[in-house]
Amino acid sequence: MASLRENDMKTARKKGLVAAAATGGAVALGVAAGSLTLGVVALVPAAYLGWEWFSYRAKRGMRF
């Protein structure tokens, strides 16, 4: 049986991986398309996911 802390850590890890994958995909899309505008537009959802990960960890008092 997992503790609440372990569940929070797993959730934080998943949120972090999703945010990192979205950021990597946005950068790859910007480079592959050769368009700075397209890359910046793709970074908006990645920034949102990164903020969600950051706030999740901050609300639960986790270290970075």
- Whole-model pTM: value is 0.84
Taking only the tens place, the pLDDT of each residue in 42-63 is: 999 999 999 999 999 999 988 8
Cβ neighbors of 46 (< 8 A, separation 6 or more) are 19, 22, 23, 25, 26
Half-sphere exposure of 6 (CA within 13 A, CB side): 3
Written as one letter, the residue type at 45 is P
Classify burial at 7, counting beta carbons within 10 Å of its beta carbon; exposed 0-12, middle 13-18, buried 19 or more: exposed
Taking only the tens place, the pLDDT of each residue in 2-50 is: 799 999 999 999 999 999 999 999 999 989 988 888 888 999 999 999 9
Sign of CA dihedral 40, 11, 9, 18: negative
